[in-house]
Structure 1
């Protein structure tokens, strides 16, 4: 398939990164790539859907991965996967012989191995320059669900209308299930039985990089998990912290042990991010070295410094993220710079996921969440026109219209944008620039 044809299919079928920031898949497609990496690392605790999907639809996903590689003219495709995902690796090994340009890269169960900068180094030995992109090193990365969505669009003419979500935590029947886009958290978790705590909180995504939601939060193309926790759980309390208070705590408690920097995965790859220096500058109101703040832009936001490394329980990541927001707001662009050498003891600085889960008091929730490869009936969906990086889609339906599952309801704008499709059969109840509400039949 020609690369331009593949781009059009991806854009018009609404395919974006199925997790993270939701970068449009077509915008990564380029003939500059010599390597395509399939990310099946899923490094945050409790997330399960990518390994389950790859074990279930192995041949389709690897076939599409190889077709993407061929469209790009790339030399090889690499499946990055944790070595402990034995069932999934076995499924891959049964079919990979038919794809000589695809190989497996088995990785340690360390966090944040799923960070594409870290994954690219592990799989190829190439270091992405601070401020740079994977394509600078001739690499493109897609996760498993994104690749499966490409397969469905290319071979079955099916656009993105649902999202695989792991529903785990304080729920009596954890599972992974397809959820129609626009479904509320309340309706989604009802698929997994009853909540087992009286006052629950809902973490959307992973416990390290996710955010808090409510019963009315809707499922989008980037929702990988709903983790139900007690409201007084450590993970929830840290997500609700007051940043002004955290800055004052930095002034009174930061001892400059530099553990936050020593455990930073990007710093270990030579990126100029040093959280301890940010904390020192904040603690002392020191603006003499502005590079400390500018270098905050190179932070991946993985949260190791804040939720694992700091012996005082301080919040370097949150403070750094505020600085990053300030830099963006001021129109200061991140410059691409040369990295320092990779640290010789980098291997010793890796954080095992099981230790992270234990520190976060999440190990007790690491239970089977069986994959149900069906899409349940949903009575009402509120489908956002923006579920991706770039310009939101423009609604093309009106109140009262009869719509079908898979029908185009938002066309992509000029520039970086993708289409949005209806996730159920029903009648349009409301249309705004931000969302389309559909009531099921």
Structure 2
């Protein structure tokens, strides 16, 4: 297929990374991509939807992955998947024989195997430049659900109108469901039966990199999971802490053990990020070495430093995120630096997923969450115009319009952007630059 044609299809059908920041997929189509990688590492604890989807729709996903490889002219297409996902591996092995450029890249059960910089190194041996994009190394990475959405757009004329979401932890029946984009989180959680804790808190996304949400918050194209947790759970309390208090705690008890740096996944790949030095400089207000602060821009915010490494319970990730945001707000960009050679110690400093779940008190929630793709009925959806990196989509409907499921309701904005589509059939009851509400 012609790259321009496929790019247009992906943009018009609203295909973006189905997780993380939601990077528009059409912008990843690049003839420099010698290698493309399908990310089925299922990076975060408790999440299962990618391995479930790949197991069920292996043929469709492999076909679309092959189409992408042909379109960009990639020499190899690697499916990055953990060795533990045996049923999914069996399903993939049954269909990839007819694609000579395709192979499996088997991964250990460690965190954060799904971080694209880590994933690229594990399956290709290439180190992405600190602050650089994978394409600089001739690589493009695609999420499993993203590739399946591309297949649906290309072969079924179905735009992104729904999302797979895992509902886990304090619920009667953990489950992975397909829901219309814009569905309130309360209605998604209801698909998992009764909530089993008083005063539940919704933690949206993975436990390491997610955030606290609300019941009225709408599902977006990047909503992967909802963890229903007790309000006194470690993860919730950690997220609620104030950075000003954390900074004072760090000043009082950071002993410079260097564990945060020693186990930092990006540091172990030679990136110039050293959380321990940041903690010392920030708490002492020492600006003699400004690069210590500037290098926070190379942090991936994986959370290993504050949720696993630090035995004092300090928060390097959160504090660095605050500094990083301040630097960007003042127009400071990450400097162009090269990574140092990867040392042999990296192999012995990976974070085992089982140990991580125990550390953050999630082991008891590590249960099956079966995939159910049955269509669920909702009365009202709130569809955000900015569900992706880049310019928000521009609404093309008005209040009172009748729309059908799959109809474009917002066209791509200027620059990097994608279309947005109705997730239900109904009447538009509210329109503004931020969202469109449709009632069935």
TM above 0.5, yes or no, is yes
1:350 maps onto 2:356 in alignment: no
Checking the alignment, whether the CA contact within 8 Å between 1:250 and 1:282 is kept in structure 2 is no
Deviations 1:95-137 (A, max 9, x none): 1111111000110010001000000000100000101110000
Deviations 1:145-195 (A, max 9, x none): 000000001111110001100000100011001010000011111111110
- The match for 1:105 is 105
- The match for 2:384 is 384
Q: Secondary structure at the match of 1:148?
A: helix
1:218 maps onto 2:218 in alignment: yes
Instruction: Return the TM-score normalized by structure 1.
Output: 0.99
- The match for 2:238 is 238
Deviations 1:78-105 (A, max 9, x none): 0000000000000001111111110001
Instruction: Return the TM-score normalized by structure 2.
Output: 0.99
User: What is the CA–CA distance in structure 2 between the aligned matches of 1:343 and 1:143, rounded to whole Å?
Assistant: 29
Gaps of 5+ in 1: none
- The match for 1:412 is 412
Q: Secondary structure at the match of 1:345?
A: helix
User: What is the CA–CA distance in structure 1 between the aligned matches of 2:410 and 2:427, rounded to whole Å?
Assistant: 15
- The match for 2:131 is 131
User: What is the CA–CA distance in structure 2 between the aligned matches of 1:283 and 1:334, rounded to whole Å?
Assistant: 22
- The match for 2:303 is 303
The structural deviation recorded for 1:43 is 1.6
User: What is the CA–CA distance in structure 1 between the aligned matches of 2:383 and 2:284, rounded to whole Å?
Assistant: 46
Checking the alignment, whether the CA contact within 8 Å between 1:430 and 1:436 is kept in structure 2 is yes
Q: Secondary structure at the match of 2:95?
A: helix
User: What is the CA–CA distance in structure 2 between the aligned matches of 1:18 and 1:40, rounded to whole Å?
Assistant: 12
The structural deviation recorded for 1:336 is 2.5
User: What is the CA–CA distance in structure 2 between the aligned matches of 1:336 and 1:74, rounded to whole Å?
Assistant: 27
User: What is the CA–CA distance in structure 1 between the aligned matches of 2:96 and 2:15, rounded to whole Å?
Assistant: 25
Checking the alignment, whether the CA contact within 8 Å between 1:306 and 1:315 is kept in structure 2 is yes
User: What is the CA–CA distance in structure 2 between the aligned matches of 1:117 and 1:389, rounded to whole Å?
Assistant: 19
User: What is the CA–CA distance in structure 2 between the aligned matches of 1:198 and 1:339, rounded to whole Å?
Assistant: 48
1:12-91 correspondence runs (5 A): 12-91=12-91
User: What is the CA–CA distance in structure 1 between the aligned matches of 2:80 and 2:239, rounded to whole Å?
Assistant: 30
Q: Secondary structure at the match of 1:276?
A: helix
Q: Secondary structure at the match of 1:155?
A: helix
The structural deviation recorded for 1:283 is 1.9
The structural deviation recorded for 1:57 is 0.3
Q: Secondary structure at the match of 2:280?
A: helix
The structural deviation recorded for 1:413 is 1.1
User: What is the CA–CA distance in structure 2 between the aligned matches of 1:262 and 1:175, rounded to whole Å?
Assistant: 36
1:169 maps onto 2:169 in alignment: yes
Deviations 1:44-66 (A, max 9, x none): 11001000000000000001001
Deviations 1:264-286 (A, max 9, x none): 00000000000000000122111
The structural deviation recorded for 1:243 is 0.5
The structural deviation recorded for 1:375 is 2.2
Deviations 1:224-281 (A, max 9, x none): 0000000000010001111000000110010000000000000000000000000001
Compute the RMSD of aligned alpha carbons.
0.6
The structural deviation recorded for 1:214 is 0.8
Checking the alignment, whether the CA contact within 8 Å between 1:254 and 1:283 is kept in structure 2 is no
1:126-165 correspondence runs (5 A): 126-165=126-165
- The match for 1:253 is 253
- The match for 2:192 is 192
User: What is the CA–CA distance in structure 1 between the aligned matches of 2:376 and 2:77, rounded to whole Å?
Assistant: 34
1:322-337 correspondence runs (5 A): 322-337=322-337
Checking the alignment, whether the CA contact within 8 Å between 1:406 and 1:423 is kept in structure 2 is yes
User: What is the CA–CA distance in structure 1 between the aligned matches of 2:215 and 2:13, rounded to whole Å?
Assistant: 28
Checking the alignment, whether the CA contact within 8 Å between 1:54 and 1:88 is kept in structure 2 is yes
User: What is the CA–CA distance in structure 1 between the aligned matches of 2:176 and 2:225, rounded to whole Å?
Assistant: 8
User: What is the CA–CA distance in structure 1 between the aligned matches of 2:15 and 2:424, rounded to whole Å?
Assistant: 18
1:282 maps onto 2:278 in alignment: no
